[in-house]
Amino acid sequence: MPICTTTSNFFTVPPVFHAMENFFELFPRYGRKSSTLWKTFDPQQPTSPQRAQSFTEINAFFSLCPSVLSVVKHDFDSPLNPDPTNPMNRITATFAALATANRKALVTYITAGDPDPETSFHILRKACDAGIDILELGIPFSDPTADGPVIQEASQRALKAGMTLTKTLELAARLRKEVDTPIMIFGYYNPLFKYGLERLAQAAAAAGIDGLLVVDLPPEEAGPLKAALAGTDIQLVFLVAPTTRPDRVKMIAQETGGFLYLITRAGTTGEGGLDLEAIRQHAAEVKKISPLPVCLGFGIRNGDDAHKLAPMADGIIVGSALVGIIGSDPTASDLPERLAEKIRDLRAGLDRA
Q: What DSSP state is assigned to residue 81?
A: B
Q: Which of 59, 51, 60 has its CA nearest to residue 99?
A: 59
Question: What are the φ and ψ backbone dihedral angles of 210, each rounded to 5 degrees?
Answer: -105, -25
* DSSP reduced 3-state for 186: strand
CB atoms within 10 A of CB 258: 26
State yes or no: is 136 an active-site residue: yes
Dihedral angle computed from the Cα positions of residues 71, 74, 75 and 78, in that order, rounded to the nearest 10 degrees: 100
Residues in the chain: 353
Identify the active-site residue in 57, 114, 133, 136: 136
Report the distance separating Cα 134 and Cα 14, nearest Å.
Answer: 34
Dihedral angle computed from the Cα positions of residues 26, 27, 29 and 33, in that order, rounded to the nearest 10 degrees: -130
Query: Is-contact 103 350, C-beta < 8 A?
Result: yes
Report the distance separating Cα 172 and Cα 177, nearest Å.
Answer: 9
Q: What DSSP state is assigned to residue 157?
A: H
Give the residues across from 81 on adjacent strands.
78
Report the distance separating Cα 219 and Cα 284, nearest Å.
Answer: 22
State yes or no: is 147 an active-site residue: yes
Identify the active-site residue in 57, 114, 133, 147: 147
Query: Is-contact 187 138, C-beta < 8 A?
Result: yes
Question: What are the φ and ψ backbone dihedral angles of 108, each rounded to 5 degrees?
Answer: -120, 140
Q: How close are the terminal C-alpha atoms of the chain, in Å?
A: 31
CB atoms within 10 A of CB 53: 15
Query: Is-contact 93 309, C-beta < 8 A?
Result: no
Please identify every residue annotated as catalytic: 136, 147
